[in-house]
Amino acid sequence: MAFPELNSAEQAQLEQTRACIGEAIAEAGGRIPFDRYMELALYAPGAGYYVNGARKFGVAGDFVTAPEISPLFSRTLAAQLAEVLATSGGEVLEFGAGSGVMAAEILAALAARDALPERYLIMELSAELRARQAETLRDRVPGLVERVHWLDRLPGPGWRGVVVANELLDALPVSRFCRTADGWVEQFVTIEDGVFQPLWDAPETPGLVDALARIEERLGPFAEGYASEICLRLPAWMRAVADFLAQGVLLLIDYGYSEREYYHPARRDGTLICHFRQRAFDDPFALPGLADITASVDFSAVAEAGVEAGMELVGYTTQAQFLLGCGIEHELAALAADPARIGELQRAKQLIMPTAMGERFRVIGLAAGELTPLSGFAMGDLRAML
């Protein structure tokens, strides 16, 4: 596809990221696995997409997330957080807080419910995003900023509270695979004439072949030529959360599918997608460092990894059902009663409409310790799909 003309800063960033990845390829002997390429393109210090200082979120960035579409997303989510905090106590920890809008709205909503935790923790890799989050919080909830703390490492064992992440797992690096007549091949990345190119070869990433064999045991063999992704880093991430979460819940909101949906025969080219200036495209090698690179989430794998790490699967449903269970209809009714707020109402409806985010985005809950049933999963229980 044709991309917008890059400005000088974007061109310099693109060249820096390409140089960083090129150096890694040279050091590795001429190629790196795709998940390593994706990791560098997104997170390489000073060069990766999420850490290089470029504006990413909102209409002026590359994509718009639910908290930027409508404040009702965060306010409704806060109702679920308040419910958990009432039984578990403790704090809130948000992974990847983006622009800081969700944190600000959650804090304001918790304050209105007299349910504020002592601390609202944010785990954020990007110094630029930390600064932007702090600015957003100072502007929107100046009286609550002192409760917010940015972490450089995960909490220690015994932590209590709610861990929440919106559109985080889709940015975990994935391995790419293809079924051929001769067996599995894995995608690597090399350089030809200064351009990054995919290279398919025998799998080298530890655990990849075994993981694919387990999927085939459950779903049957993949057809020849079937290509997709798998996130082998997910179990380690879930174990890291389980290691510190002693009492409370992990809530993850993202776009994705159950395993059977994810690896459906019709989805034979995978789910990888890139975003740059509100444009979506499928070439991850075109704009490394400038474009987001994501893959849909396999929620069956999320559930399996969480349970194997020692947590309990307490809910899985669509975003629409979750928000309705948490009471968003009352907020929508208030907007509908005010003709001057019709624009806000239309934006908020995108959160639950099946043709927008309502069905495509899913919410999964994993718990540690004893908890009462969560209201967000009361409207629909889709755990059997996993």
Report the alpha-carbon distance of residue 362 to residue 355 in Å, rounded: 14
pLDDT of residue 1: 64
**DSSP secondary structure string for all residues of 290-350:** TSEEE--EEHHHHHHHHHHTT-EEEEEEEHHHHHHHTTHHHHHHHHHT-GGGHHHHHHHHT
Q: Comparing 38-42, 112-116, 127-131, 353-357, which segment has the lowest mean pLDDT?
A: 127-131
Cα dist from 18 to 24, 38, 44, 280, 287, whole Å: 10, 12, 11, 20, 9
Report the alpha-carbon distance of residue 256 to residue 74 in Å, rounded: 20
Query: Which tens digits make up the pLDDT trace of 201-216?
Result: 999 999 999 999 999 9
Neighbours of 333 (CB within 10 A): 10
Q: Are the CB atoms for 377 and 312 separated by under 8 Å?
A: no
Sorted by sequence, the CB contacts under 8 Å of residue 61 that are 6+ apart come out as 55, 277
Domain boundaries, the chain: 8-42+173-230+264-294, 66-171+234-259+299-369
Mean pLDDT of 357-365: 97
Strand runs (DSSP E) across 135-217, as ranges? 148-151, 159-166, 175-180, 183-192, 195-201
Q: Is the pLDDT of residue 78 over 90?
A: yes
Confidence band for 58, pLDDT divided at 50, 70 and 90: low
Query: Which tens digits make up the pLDDT trace of 216-265?
Result: 999 999 999 999 999 999 999 999 999 999 999 999 999 999 999 999 99
Q: What is the pTM of this model?
A: 0.95
Mean pLDDT of 16-32: 97
Q: Are the CB atoms for 130 and 158 separated by under 8 Å?
A: no
Spell out a b/e string for 7-39, using b for 16 or more CB atoms within 10 Å of the CB, else e. Answer: eeebeebbebbbebbeebbeeeeebbbbbbbbb
Report the alpha-carbon distance of residue 60 to residue 57 in Å, rounded: 7
Average pLDDT along the chain: 94
Q: Which of 289, 309, 176 is nearest to 241 (CA)?
A: 309
Confidence band for 70, pLDDT divided at 50, 70 and 90: very high
Domain 66-171+234-259+299-369 has CATH 2.50.20.10: no
Q: Is the pLDDT of residue 117 over 70?
A: yes
